[in-house]
Amino acid sequence: MRKRGSQEGGKEGGIVAGSHEIGNKHKKGKGQKNEEEIVEENHETGNTHKKGKGQKNGEEIVEESHEIGNTHKKGKGQKNGEEIVEESHEIGNTHKKGKGQKNGEEIVEESHEIGNTHKKGKGQKNGEEIVEESHEIGNTHKKGKGQKNGEEIVEESHEIGNTHKKGKGQKNGEEIVEESHEIGNTHKKGKGQKNGEEIVEESHEIGNTHKKGKGQKNGEEIVEESHEIGNTHKKGKGQKNGEEIVEESHKIGNTHKKGTGQKNGEEIVEESHEIGNTHKKGKGQKNGEEIVEESHEIGNTHKKGKGQKNEEEIVEESQEIGNTHKKGKGQKNGEEIVEESHEIGNTHKKGTGQKSEEESHEIGNTHKKGKGQKNQQEIVEDSKEKGAHQPIPKTDIVVDSEITSRFNTDEGAQEIVQKNKNGESNTNAGAIGKNDATSAASTSENQAMSGGQKAGIVIGALVGIAIVAYAGKVIWSKYIAK
In the chain (482 residues long), the average pLDDT of successive 10-residue segments reads: 33 33 35 35 34 37 38 36 38 37 40 36 38 37 38 40 37 38 36 39 36 37 37 35 36 33 36 35 37 38 36 36 36 37 37 34 36 33 33 42 50 55 45 45 50 41 48 52 44
* Distance (Å) of CA 469 to CA 179, 416, 417, 447: 55, 11, 8, 15
* pLDDT value of position 325: 36
Phi and psi of 344, rounded to 5°? -65, 135
The rounded distance, in Å, linking the Cα atoms of 47 and 90 is 21
Query: Tell me, what DSSP letter sits at residue 217?
Result: S
Query: Would you say 109 and 291 are in contact if contact means Cβ atoms under 8 Å apart?
Result: yes
The sheet carrying 36-42 orders its strands as: 2-4, 14-19, 36-42, 32-33
Distances, alpha carbon 260 to alpha carbons 17, 18, 40, 347, in Å:
10, 11, 12, 35
pLDDT of residue 417: 54
Report pLDDT for 439.
54
Rounded to whole angstroms, what are the CA distances from 440 to 83, 332, 443, 460? Answer: 76, 77, 5, 8
Task: Give the pLDDT score at 472.
Answer: 52
Q: Identify the bridge partners of residue 87 per DSSP, sorted by sequence position.
A: 73
Residue-level pLDDT at 86: 41
Residue 410, helix vs strand vs coil: helix
The amino acid sitting at 67 is E
Whether the CB-CB separation of 141 and 135 falls below 8 Å is answered with: yes
Query: Taking the C-alpha atoms of 283, 146, 245 and 259 in order, what is their torsion angle to the nearest 10 degrees?
Result: 0
Residue type, 379: I
* Closest by Cα among 328, 316, 321, 227 to 275: 321
Amino acid letter, residue 377: Q
| CB of 448 closer than 8 Å to CB of 391 | no
Helix (H) or strand (E) holding 441: helix 437-450
CB within 8 Å of 338: residues ≥ 6 apart: 98, 327, 328, 329, 330, 351, 352, 353, 356, 357, 370, 372
Phi/psi of residue 376, each to 5°?
A: -125, 140
Q: What pLDDT score does 416 carry?
A: 54
* Alpha carbon distances (Å) from 419 to 345, 442, 472: 51, 10, 11
Cα 238 to chain centroid distance, Å, stands at 26
Quick check: pTM over 0.95?
Answer: no
- In one-letter notation, the amino acid at residue 163 is T
b/e sequence 23-59, b meaning 16+ C-beta within 10 Å: ebeebbbbbbbeebbbbbbbbbbebbbbbbbbbbbbb
Rounded CA-CA distance 206/114 in Å is 14
CA distance 366 to 374: 25
State residue 419's pLDDT score: 55
Compute CA distances 399 → 373, 391, 403, 424, whole Å. Answer: 73, 24, 7, 20
Amino acid at 180: S
CA distance 327 to 315: 9
Q: Please name the amino acid found at residue 334.
A: G
